[in-house]
Amino acid sequence: MKSKIFCINATVFRSSISRFWPLWAIYLFLWVLLLPVHISNDRVSILHDPSAGEYWTLALGVYGGVAFGAIMAIAAAMAVWSYLYFNRSAQGIACLPQRRETVWTSAMLGGLVPALAVHLLAALSGALVGGLIGWNCFPVMLRWCGIVSLIYFFFYAFACFCAQLTGSLIILPLVYGVLNFLAVGVELVARGLLSAFVYGMTTLSMGNVTLRWLSPPLGYVSTLRVDHNYPNQTATLSGTHALWIYAIVGLLLLAGALLLYRRRRMESAGDVVAIRVLKPVFRWCMALGSGLLLATVFYFFLFIWNTDLQADAVFLSTLLSMLLGAVLGWFVAEMLIGKSFRVFHARTWAGAGLVCVLILAAMLGIRYDLFGFERRVPAAQNVDSVLIRAPYPALLSSEEGIEQARALHQSILDGKDFNTDPENGTQRTLYCTLDYELRGGGHLTREYRLAVPDAGSRPELDALQALLNTPEAIASRNEDLDSVTAARVESGWVETVMSVRACAEAAGYDSPEDYLLREYIGFSAAEQARLSAAEREEAVLEAARRLQEEQYWRFDQFYATGASPAEATLSYGELDYDRLFAGYRVALSRGDAWELLQSAVLPDLAEGKLGLVYVSDAAENRKTIYETSVSLELKPETETADPYDGPVYSWNVNAQATRTVAWLEEHGIALYTAAEVRGAD
C-alpha cells in the first residue's frame, strides 16, 4: 500500500512558529503600538475628521508596510531557513522521511502564517479601539491589513528565494539587501559616472529612474500614493496595481525557491554560493560591482568637486579605477567561493583578464560614442511632444515646434567642444534638458551644460532663447488662462523698481533718508531721533550700499548674470535719490488685477509679446526688459480643493508688451529697464 503524500509536515510547521515566537511578538507589539495606541491618542482629531484617520492609516499601511515588511521578511526567512546554513541541522532535515516539497512548504508557511496573523490581530485591535471612541474604522482597517499583507508576502517570497542562493546565514541578508536596491544602485552609479564624460547623459532623480520597478522598495513608494482631500474629507489610495503585480512576482519567486530547494545540495551549508551554476555569475557580479564601486569612490573624492578637469582625464581615471576594482572583486569572489587565499593561479588571472577586456571595450565604445548615444536626435515623425527646461519650461507638440526643438538639439551637439571645455563658462552656465515623448510610449531625455560667454553669444543660446519665446512655448507656460473668470481672481501685485524718492513718497515717509533708515536699516522713529549727524550719514550710506548691490540681483530675469560688480565709492553729499533705486511692491485690488489680465496681459501673451524669457545677460536684453514683474494669484478651480492651492502666474515686463506697459504707466507705476537700473550701457 502506497504511503500518502502530505503537503505540510505539522511538526516542522509548528516548530518554525514556536521556536521563533519572540520575533512575532515584537512584530505584533510594533503594529499594536502604531495602530490602536495612535487611534486612542488622536481620538479628538479623528472624530472631528474621520478622513484624517483614514489617510494616516492608509499611509501607515504603505510606508510602514514597506519598511517593517522588508525588515521582518528577511528576519523571518533567516529564522525558518536557518537549518540550511549549518551542516548538522541540514543533514538532519535531509534525513527526515519527508519529501523535500513537504519540508519546504512547512518551513515557508512557518514564516508566512504568523505574520498574516499579526496583521489581522493588529487590524482587529485597531478596529476595536476605533469603535470604543466612536469611529467605525473596520473597513479601513481591513484595507490596511490587505496592504501590509500583500507587501509582506512579496518581500518574504523574495527573502525565501534569496535564502536558496547561499549557504551562509551572514551572506543571506547582504544578498537580500543588495538585490532589493541593485537595479537603482547600478543606474545611479552608472549615470553619475557617465555624465562626467558622456555629453547629454542625465543624472539620476526619482522622476527619471527607469529601473525603479526592479528595486521593490522604491517601486512601492513611487507607485502607491495616499491623498487626503481636507475640504471634501476623503482619503484615497492610488497605484494599487503595484500591490498585485508584486504579489504575482512573489508567487513566481516562491516557485523558483522551491525548484532551487529541490536541487540544493545540503552539503553546501556554509558556502557563500549554494547553487553551483551560479558561482560564475557571482564572480562576474562581484567584479563588475567592485569596479563600479571603486570608480565611484575615486570620482567622488577626487573629481566631483573639481570642474576644471577635461572629460578625457575623468574618463581615464574612471577606466583605471574600474579595472582595478574589477580585478580585486574577481579575486575576492574566488577567495569566498574557494574558502582559500590561494587563488592566484593561471585560470583566475585569465578570468580577471577577460573581465578587464570587456570593461575596456565597453568604456571605449561609450567614450567615443560607438553606440550613437550622444549623436542621437529622434526623427520628427517619432516624436509626440518635447518638454524643454532651460531653466524656463516649454512644452512643444506642433510640427513646427518639434522641428525647432530638434534644430536646437543639433545646435547644442555642434557646440559640444565649446560647452565641455572647462575654461568656458566657469562662472556663467545654464543647464538645458530636452525630454522627448516618443510615439508608442517611451522617453528620450538629454541634459546639457551650456557655457554662456562673457561677450557675444552662441548659436545654441540664440536658438534656445528664440524657441523659449515662440507663441507656443509662451502659451505652454500660461495654459488655462483664457478660461479664467473674474470670480477666480484672488489677488494681484506688481514688483517693481522705483527711485528711493518715489518709494519714500509712495510709502508716506517725510524724506528719502527716513525711508532708508526705517526700511533698510530697521531703525525705529525713536532710534532715528537719537542718531548724531555722523551716525545718520553712515547709516544712510550703508543703506545705499545695500541698494547698490541689490539693483544688480533684484529679479531672476537672467539665468546667468555674471560676477557681482565692484562697489562704487559713495559719499553722503553725492547721493542722488532720483537715481538710487529700490524695490517696491504695489498691491492690486481684485478689480484692477482682473482689468490688467483682460485688457493687457492676455492680449500681449496671445501675440507673444509678454512672458518672454532670457538665457543670457546680453546688452540688448538689458535694454528691452524692465525691472518689473506682474503677478496674479487665482483661486483653485474646484471648491473642494485646498484654498491655498491656487496657481500663481508671474511675468517679467518687457518693452514689447505695449498694452501691459501702458496699463502700468497709466496707474502711476514708473518703469526702468535693467540697463537703466544697473547703470549699464
CA atoms within 13 A on the CB side of 488: 18
Smallest CA-to-CA distance from 217 within 73, 12, 5, 80 is with 73
Is residue 580 within 8 A of residue 500, CB to CB? The reply is yes
Look at residue 147 in the predicted model and tell me its pLDDT: 94
Question: For 517-530, what is the mean pLDDT?
Answer: 85
| CA dist., res. 538 & res. 579, Å (int) | 19
Look at residue 367 in the predicted model and tell me its pLDDT: 86
Q: Is the dihedral of CA 452, 458, 460, 462 positive or negative?
A: positive
Q: Is the pLDDT of residue 675 over 90?
A: no
Coil, helix or strand at residue 224: coil
Please give the distance of CA 679 from its chain centroid, rounded to a whole number. Answer: 41
Look at residue 553 in the predicted model and tell me its pLDDT: 58
Look at residue 52 in the predicted model and tell me its pLDDT: 79
DSSP-derived secondary structure letter, 423: T
* Cell numbers standing for residue 299: 570620482
CA angle, 276 then 282 then 287, to 5°: 150
Q: What is the 3-state secondary structure (H, E, C) of 597-661?
A: HHHHHHHHHHCCCCCCCECCCCHHHHCCEEEEEEEEEECCCCCCCCHHHCCEEEEEEECCCHHHH
Look at residue 625 in the predicted model and tell me its pLDDT: 85
Question: For 167-190, what is the mean pLDDT?
Answer: 86
Question: For 278-297, what is the mean pLDDT?
Answer: 85
Smallest CA-to-CA distance from 548 within 561, 535, 566 is with 566
User: What stretch of H or E contains 586?
Assistant: strand 581-588
**pLDDT of 218-252, one tens digit each?**
999 989 998 877 666 778 888 899 999 999 999 99
| CA dist., res. 184 & res. 212, Å (int) | 6
pLDDT bucket at 554, cuts 50 / 70 / 90 = low
| CA dist., res. 552 & res. 518, Å (int) | 22
Coil, helix or strand at residue 569: coil
Coil, helix or strand at residue 364: helix
Whether omega before 393 lies within 30 degrees of 0, making that bond cis, reads: no
**pLDDT of 445-462, one tens digit each?**
898 988 887 666 788 988
**pLDDT of 65-77, one tens digit each?**
999 999 999 999 9
Look at residue 378 in the predicted model and tell me its pLDDT: 92
Which residues face 438 on adjacent strands? Answer: 383
Whole-Å CA distances, 179 to 72, 136, 162, 175: 16, 41, 9, 6
Q: Is the pLDDT of residue 3 over 50?
A: no
Q: Which position has the higher pLDDT, 570 or 215?
A: 215
Range with the largest mean pLDDT of 157-161, 350-354, 473-477, 560-564? 157-161
Is residue 39 within 8 A of residue 53, CB to CB? The reply is yes
**pLDDT of 110-129, one tens digit each?**
899 999 999 999 999 988 88
| CA dist., res. 356 & res. 288, Å (int) | 10
Coil, helix or strand at residue 672: coil
Question: For 402-409, what is the mean pLDDT?
Answer: 94
Smallest CA-to-CA distance from 377 within 327, 427, 434, 339 is with 434
| CA dist., res. 548 & res. 553, Å (int) | 10
Return the amino acid letter for 474.
I
CA angle, 71 then 73 then 78, to 5°: 100
Look at residue 270 in the predicted model and tell me its pLDDT: 64
User: What stretch of H or E contains 448?
Assistant: strand 443-451
Smallest CA-to-CA distance from 310 within 412, 409, 416, 411 is with 416
Question: For 375-385, what is the mean pLDDT?
Answer: 91
Q: Is the pLDDT of residue 42 over 80?
A: no
| Nearby residues of 637 by Cβ (< 8 Å), 6 or more positions away | 488
Is residue 183 within 8 A of residue 211, CB to CB? The reply is yes
Q: Is the pLDDT of residue 96 over 80?
A: no
Is residue 388 within 8 A of residue 407, CB to CB? The reply is no
pLDDT bucket at 303, cuts 50 / 70 / 90 = low
Look at residue 208 in the predicted model and tell me its pLDDT: 62
**pLDDT of 612-645, one tens digit each?**
888 866 667 777 888 889 999 888 776 545 556 6
| Nearby residues of 56 by Cβ (< 8 Å), 6 or more positions away | 38, 42
Strand pairing category for 625-634 and 225-229: unpaired
Look at residue 249 in the predicted model and tell me its pLDDT: 96
Q: Is the pLDDT of residue 4 over 50?
A: no
The burial of 106, by beta-carbon neighbours within 10 Å (0-12 exposed, 13-18 middle, 19 or more buried), is given as: buried
Q: Is the pLDDT of residue 427 over 60?
A: no
User: What stretch of H or E contains 266?
Assistant: none
CA angle, 237 then 243 then 246, to 5°: 155
Residue with cell 512547512: 106
Smallest CA-to-CA distance from 546 within 514, 580, 574 is with 580
Q: Is the pLDDT of residue 207 over 80?
A: no
How many C-beta neighbours within 10 Å does residue 27 have? 22
Q: Is the pLDDT of residue 559 over 50?
A: no
CA angle, 292 then 297 then 303, to 5°: 110
Smallest CA-to-CA distance from 116 within 184, 108, 626 is with 108
Strand order in the sheet with 489-499: 581-588, 489-499, 625-634, 648-654
Q: What is the 3-state secondary structure (H, E, C) of 11-74?
A: HHHHHHHHCCHHHHHHHHHHHHHHCHHHHHHCHHHHHHCHHHHHHHHHHHHHHHHHHHHHHHHH
Which residue blocks in 269-427 are alpha helix, DSSP H?
279-298, 311-338, 346-367, 399-414, 416-420
